[in-house]
Amino acid sequence: MNWEKIAEVCQRELEQVRSELPDSAAFFPQPERIAETFLNHERDMNEAVEVAVRQFAAERTWPPLSPLERTMLSFRLDFAASLATLLAQQPRPWVDIDDPTQAEPRLRWLLIFAWENEGFSTLHENFSRVLLRTAP
């Protein structure tokens, strides 16, 4: 599976997950504490979301997840779809190959490694920056 196909899979899954989510205010009731709340949810839901990602990467199915776990998964899927789209557009000499044995490790890399090393920290920083701009 190449990056373009992975981007499509992640985007499709993101749209499906988002269509079933309750309003995010249910999980982030205090706008002034959104970054702290997000950090707590990420910490608390991380293990369950990683188990779900591993299952999806291997089998293309999701285990049952709570609404909050699905919400946290949606952040990863959004990040993965964006990053995979960029990787699909990478210039030569980074030519991609359509190798079916690479789908599972690539999905794990996007939704676990890349999330931990870039996605989560960037999102957390963005929440903090948005809150500083909207503070009275």
- Residue 133: the pLDDT is 47
Q: Which residues of the chain have pLDDT under 50?
A: 133-135
DSSP the chain: --HHHHHHHHHHHHHHHHHTPPPGGGT---GGGHHHHHHHHHHHHHHHHHHHHHHHHHHS------HHHHHHHHHHHHHHHHHHHHHHTPPTT------GGGHHHHHHIIIIIIIIIIIHHHHHHHHHHHHHHH--
- pTM recorded for the entire structure: 0.76
Q: Any long-range contacts for 3-6 (C-beta under 8 Å, 24+ apart)?
A: 3/84, 3/85, 3/87, 3/88, 3/90, 3/96, 3/106, 4/84, 4/85, 4/88, 4/96, 5/98, 6/80, 6/84, 6/88, 6/103, 6/106, 6/107, 6/110
**Domain membership of residue 86 as a residue range:** 3-134
| pLDDT tens sequence across 11-21 | 999 999 999 98
pLDDT tens sequence across 86-111: 888 776 555 667 777 778 888 888 88
| Number of separate domains in the chain | 1
